[in-house]
Chain A
Amino acid sequence: METGTVRFIERDGGLAPGAGAPPPTAELLAGYRAMVLARRLNEQAGALVRQGRLAVYPSSRGQEACQVAAVSVLEARDWLFPTYRDAAAIAARGVDPVEVLTMLRGDRHCGYDPVAHRVAPQATPLATQLPHAVGVGHAARLKGEDTVVMALCGDGATSEGDFHEACNFAAVFAAPVVFLVQNNKYAISVPLARQSVAPSLAAKAVGYGMPGVRVDGNDLAALTVVLGEAVRRAREGGGPTLVEADTYRVEAHTNADDASRYRDDDEVAEWVRRDPLLRLRAHLLAEGALTDALEAECAAAAEELAARVRDGMNRERAADPDEMFAHVYATPTAQLVEQRAGLRAELELEGS
């Protein structure tokens, strides 16, 4: 075990020596169930890509503990700032997974209502969402609200200037932000060693003057405790925290990527053995908390989710060309009105 990495549950499900008490069993059971759903969503989305129903899917397989814990520690009034890889976290927040996948199906840039769910649109330009997260948090403070913002990014994104600027702003303004870096060891093909030679990504927090914590990203219990503490501190006015989750991208970057070009199967197999679901399952079984009935219920809920996603994705929504022109400005410019009319006329001619 790397020094300074918080872990509560060992790979075999046993409690890590010296770690404090894990969260209550009921909480872990809920987390387990959410992870089963997250895994199923990852699998179903992958299948939809293979069937040509989704353009692309960046899977969070192997990162489900991060996906679930990042949102389980939030209140409804808090905000989540996710990336393209965080579909499962958004679904765990309660957004309809069909709406989450709408972007990847190619219908819309964002398929859900960010304000209703307090989930920002999934960010593709790396790290660019992080200053926004700080802004939402700072605004909450100015307005006297106790909102907390959970800002997600990957290990690669920590190299971007926006990551640095966001961390520094958050620290200077004591903004209520939790930065969760899912260190899954790769930025497409580029390994962590090419991003940073700092002792850890969490160690970067020192330079910003905020707490930094490295946590086992495949241990839901540890993540829940660490992120929960960071959220509490942020809510109480204690400022931001940088949390690095030590995890792994089990699948290729996306379906379009060929990971065999830059990493070997043994490395992947080693991380598959550290699977976050298997670990928590072993723990809950050993505790006698996970009964056959509960497992069956999780499995049924997962299948129901998958069926709903399949059904939603199979129901083609006719894309409306008019949508292109909507919301570019609050009031469409004269030019846009003209262009929209031109396209409508064109399509009418085609249709006639």
Chain B
Amino acid sequence: MTGARKRTMAQAINDALRDAMDADGTVVVFGEDVGPLGGVFRVTDGLTRDFGEQRCFDTPLAESGIVGLAVGMAINGLRPVVEMQFDAFAYPAFEQVVSHVAKFANRTRGRVRLPLVIRIPYAGGIGGVEHHCDSSEAYYAHTPGLTVVTPATNADAYGLLRAAIELPDPVVFLEPKKHYFHTEEVDSAVAVPPIGRAVVRRAGRDATLIAYGPSVAVALSAAEQAATEGRDLGVVDLRSIVPFDDETVCAEVRRTGRAVVVAEAPGFASVAAEVVARVTERCFHHLEAPVRRVTGFDVPYPPPKLEKHYLPGVDRVLDAVDELQWDAA
């Protein structure tokens, strides 16, 4: 499939799965409701019909079993791409992910690599009841051996998933579920972005907003709004949390001297905290103000009626930007 087309993020991911399955007969897709139903978000729509039950199938309802099965299949030469139905429903698989998926290559001194992908719809903003809106990236990012990727655009959803499937290492692929049904232009002919590279979504002179996944859109809106108020903010989209692209991020921050990290997850011991630490360590002498972060509160994701207060929004980002010691400039 080539040429730019209007695709939702769910469709772009579906395209990536199809193209990967077409290109490589060892790619298999499985999980809960991914078969005839096509996934609760329709991401795997039509795959069983078009590739057969051998290539895309429903499993018994057990996440640890799904990931463990994927490990075994990867050991035996296949490239499993498994779906966890929601962020919080991936937790039963945590043992497999942390003790095996992440460590197999290291334990076997490279003899057994696991080229598998664990796709997880994550984060909030959809009015979901409890256990449907977790931002679980820090658990995975903290686990050495896991590559952790999260697209912010539909084109990246396509490209990064293609790259994730091709990677020899296991990837936790976090899909911002609030974007699933947004439509954007996607050109699948465009070169697949390498995993591990951030991208500057918007160049800015005054300060740099650093975001990933669902927060990139928030950062871009904030930058737009700031522009109308005479402040020129840049936006860096991490795309890949692990490996982390210090180079791109720090180059931007060194240029502007000010940075705010935006992320939905609770801020304590978070990916955002890691970004702040890295930037501070590497750019200290270029900074005009402490690097700030705007994150979720350190509370369980709240019920739907309160999520608007929880989610870092444009105003909260701009408030943080206002506090970057502009008077001293």
Contacts and interface: CB of A to CB of B under 8 A. Distances in A.
A323 B302 CA distance: 9
B253 to A, nearest CB: 24
A173 interface: no
Interface stretch (B4-12, B32-40, B116-124, B183-191): B32-40
Given A124-B129, A188-B32, A328 B298 contact: yes
Contact of B61 (A103, A156, A257, A261): A156
A261 B40 contact: no
Contacts of B59: 194
A319 B64 CA distance: 36
Contacts of A328: 298-300
Contacts of B290: none
Interface string B295-327: 001111011111001100001100100000000
Contacts of A104: 129
B309 A343 contact: yes
Contacts of B316: 346
A324 B297 contact: yes
A187 B61 contact: yes
Contacts of B61: 126, 156-157, 159-160, 187, 190, 195
A107 interface: yes
Interface string A148-175: 0000000011011110000000000000
A16 interface: no
Contacts of B302: 323-324
Interface in A126-164: 126, 128, 156-157, 159-162
Interface string B123-141: 0000111111000000000
Contact of A323 (B33, B62, B88, B306): B306
Count class of interface residues, chain B: 35 or more
Contacts of B40: 188, 256-257
Contacts of A125: 88-89, 91-92, 131
A190 B58 contact: yes
Contacts of B132: 124
B65 interface: yes
A290 interface: no
Interface in A273-332: 319, 321, 323-325, 328
Given A160-B61, A187-B61, A190-B33, A336 B131 contact: no
Contact of A319 (B36, B131, B305): B305
Given A188-B37, A188-B40, A159 B89 contact: no
Contacts of A124: 129-132
B91 A339 contact: no
A124 B300 CA distance: 15
B48 to A, nearest CB: 11
Interface string B43-71: 00000000000000011111011000000
A195 B300 contact: no
B181 interface: no
Given A56-B129, A124-B131, A103 B37 contact: no
Interface in A168-189: 187-189
A55 B297 contact: no
A177 B128 CA distance: 32
Contact of B299 (A160, A262, A324, A346): A324
A128 B131 CA distance: 12
Interface in B72-126: 88-89, 91-92
A106 interface: yes
Nearest to A187: B61
Interface of B: 32-33, 35-38, 40, 58-62, 64-65, 88-89, 91-92, 127-132, 268, 297-300, 302-306, 309-310, 315-316, 319
12 contacts: A55-B129, A107-B303, A124-B132, A126-B89, A128-B92, A159-B65, A188-B40, A189-B58, A323-B302, A325-B297, A339-B299, A347-B309
Given A261-B37, A323-B306, A333-B298, 15 more contacts: A103-B129, A106-B304, A159-B61, A161-B62, A188-B40, A189-B36, A189-B37, A190-B58, A195-B60, A261-B38, A319-B303, A321-B309, A324-B302, A336-B299, A346-B315
